[in-house]
A and B are shown apart, each in its own frame.
Chain A
Amino acid sequence: MVILHSRLMIVAALAMAAVAHADNYKVDAAHSSAVFKINHLGASNVYGMMPNVSGEIAFDENDASKNTLEISVDASSVSTFNGGRDKHLAGPDFFNAKQFPAITFKSTSWKKTGDGTYDISGEFTMLGVTKKLDVKATHIGYGKNRGGKDLAGFEATFTIDRTDYGMNYGVAAQGGIGKDVTITIAVEGIKQ
Chain B
Amino acid sequence: MNVAAPVIFPALIAGLIWLIAGRLWKRTAAATFVWGGSSAIAVSFCAGHVALMGWPPFPPATAVHTLVFAGLIVGIVGIPESIWRSRLVIRWIIRAVLGGAAAWWQFNTLAEHTWTTPGTIGWLAVVTVTVCAMWEAIDTFAARHPSVTTPFTMWLTACATSVGLVFGASAMLGQLAGCLAAACGAAVVLALWSKTLPLDRGAAGAFAFITTGLLWQGYFYAELPLLSAGLFIVASVATCIIDALVPPNTKPIKHLTIVLSSIILISGAAIAVAFFEYRETAIEVGDYAY
Contacts and interface: CB of A to CB of B under 8 A. Distances in A.
Contact of B62 (A88, A96, A174, A176): A96
A88 B290 contact: yes
Interface stretch (B134-142, B263-271, B278-286): B278-286
A55 interface: no
Majority SS at the chain A contact face: loop
B281 A129 contact: no
A48 interface: no
Nearest to A86: B285
Interface string A114-136: 00000000000001110000000
Nearest to A170: B290
Nearest to A83: B285
Interface string A142-168: 000000000000000000000100101
Interface in B7-46: none
Contact of B288 (A84, A99, A129): A84
B62 A99 contact: yes
Contact of B221 (A85, A99, A169): A99
Given A100-B109, A168-B54, A92 B222 contact: yes
Interface residues of A, number: 27
A170 B172 CA distance: 9
A84 B222 CA distance: 12
Interface of A: 82-88, 91-93, 96, 98-101, 127-129, 163, 166, 168-170, 173-176
B285 to A, nearest CB: 2
Interface string B41-53: 0000000000011
Given A92-B217, A99-B221, A100-B109, A128 B62 contact: yes
Nearest to A166: B61
B63 A99 contact: yes
A98 B112 CA distance: 12
Interface residues of B, number: 33
B73 interface: no
B285 A84 contact: yes
Contacts of B118: none
A173 B53 CA distance: 11
Interface string B158-177: 00000000000111110000
Contacts of B109: 99-100, 128
Given A85-B288, A93-B171, 13 more contacts: A82-B288, A83-B286, A84-B282, A88-B170, A88-B171, A92-B221, A93-B173, A98-B114, A100-B109, A127-B61, A129-B61, A169-B53, A170-B290
Contacts of B61: 127-129, 166
B57 A87 contact: no
A129 B56 CA distance: 13
A168 B3 CA distance: 14
Contacts of B53: 168-169
A166 B57 contact: yes
Nearest to B64: A92
25 contacts: A83-B284, A83-B286, A84-B281, A84-B282, A84-B288, A88-B169, A91-B223, A92-B170, A92-B172, A92-B173, A93-B172, A98-B110, A98-B220, A98-B221, A99-B110, A128-B61, A128-B62, A163-B54, A166-B61, A166-B65, A169-B52, A169-B53, A170-B171, A173-B1, A175-B3
Contacts of A92: 62-64, 170, 172-173, 217, 221-222
B64 to A, nearest CB: 6
Q: Which of A85, A98, A163, A176 is most buried by chain B, counting CB atoms within 10 A of its CB? A: A98
Q: Which 6 A-B pairs have the closest CB atoms?
A: A83-B285, A168-B53, A84-B288, A93-B172, A91-B222, A85-B288
A100 B62 CA distance: 9
